[in-house]
Structure 1
Amino acid sequence: MQNAHTALGRYGEEVAARRLAEDGLRVLERNWRCPEGELDIIVLDGDTVAVCEVKTRSEQSFQQPAEAIGAVKAQRLRHLAERWLSERWPEHFARLAQGVTERPLFVEGLPVGRRTGGMAPATLVPPDPVVPLPPGGVRIDLVSVVSQARGAARVEHLRGVI
């Protein structure tokens, strides 16, 4: 059974993801987990990958959402961002490269678009073994969501706060 705190957090993540998409950011992944923790939302902001930590509070809370990130949480987010980048960016890069780069992608050594004996390709990979980092780099953002008793939640996207 979901408690009120968990429900508020899920609500905040939904509101944050919707706002990021409305603002033109492309959501790459939500709720990515590994043994060390979780990243709430990963987006592409132009040519920058932004790892977004979502903090949600009700308007009756004494603490502002941004106050919930201390030095330990910031270090954990940096570590998780590095791990996500090493594990997941190559797959996202391969998908994005179709429309972003001019160089061809290859499937099992055959250029995409050529027939592969009637078999659908399973994985797209860039032609070279090294996947470049995002040209705009990686940053860690905070999305602050304050749920109000009446009306829409207040959402603030703070870029590069960590």
Structure 2
Amino acid sequence: MTTHSPQIRGRAAEEHARQHLERQGLRLLAQNWLCRRGELDLVMLDGDTVVFVEVRYRRHAAWGGALESVDGRKREKIARAAEYFLQQESRWSKHPCRFDVIAIDAGNHTAARLDWIKNAFDT
């Protein structure tokens, strides 16, 4: 993931996150779901819970790590997009929901570290 554009690295990180979550038993409902309110990287189903997953990849920690990049403004934007998703995809609107973050930090010449933070917005 080091020689390509940021967009390609971001998509590769999302794919890595999706595969990780699927290995943990989650099922993909939508990927890169776009609306006028924003984008949802991954929408997964964990049992009967709809999980909105924000995937953050950072090659360097100079501007903060991947997890720190999900600030209050970003959380609001994701929450608005999730609300719109549930309005458009009404079959999921009665299910419990949560917001997770997959933070992938490449580090310095080491393998990328993937951290899965469940209920990341409940802090």
Normalised by the size of structure 1, how large is the TM-score? 0.66
Alignment-derived partner of residue 104 in structure 2? 145
Q: Percent of pairs identical after alignment?
A: 30
Alignment-derived partner of residue 133 in structure 1? 94
1:98-157 deviation digits (Å, cap 9, x = unpaired): xxxxxxxxxxxxxxxxxxxxxxxxxxxxxxxxxx601xx111110111235344x32111
Deviation, 1:61, is: 2.8
Deviation, 1:89, is: 4.1
1:160 and 2:114 correspond: no
How far, CA to CA, are the matches of 2:71 and 2:29 in structure 1?
26
Matches within 5 A, 1:1-162: 4-58=5-59, 60-62=60-62, 63-90=64-91, 133-134=94-95, 137-147=96-106, 149-151=109-111, 153-162=112-121
Given that 1:65 and 1:144 are in contact with CA atoms closer than 8 Å, whether structure 2 keeps it comes out as yes
Q: Compare the two structures and name the one with the higher strand fraction.
A: 2
Given that 1:52 and 1:142 are in contact with CA atoms closer than 8 Å, whether structure 2 keeps it comes out as yes
1:17-40 deviation digits (Å, cap 9, x = unpaired): 110001111111100001121000
Is the partner of 2:89 in helix, strand or coil?
Answer: helix
- Structure of higher CA gyration radius: 1
Alignment-derived partner of residue 116 in structure 1? none
Given that 1:33 and 1:39 are in contact with CA atoms closer than 8 Å, whether structure 2 keeps it comes out as yes
Change (3 A) 1:150 1:31: same
**One-letter code aligned to 1:50:** V
Normalised by the size of structure 2, how large is the TM-score? 0.86
User: Structure 2: where are the runs of 5+ without partners?
Assistant: none
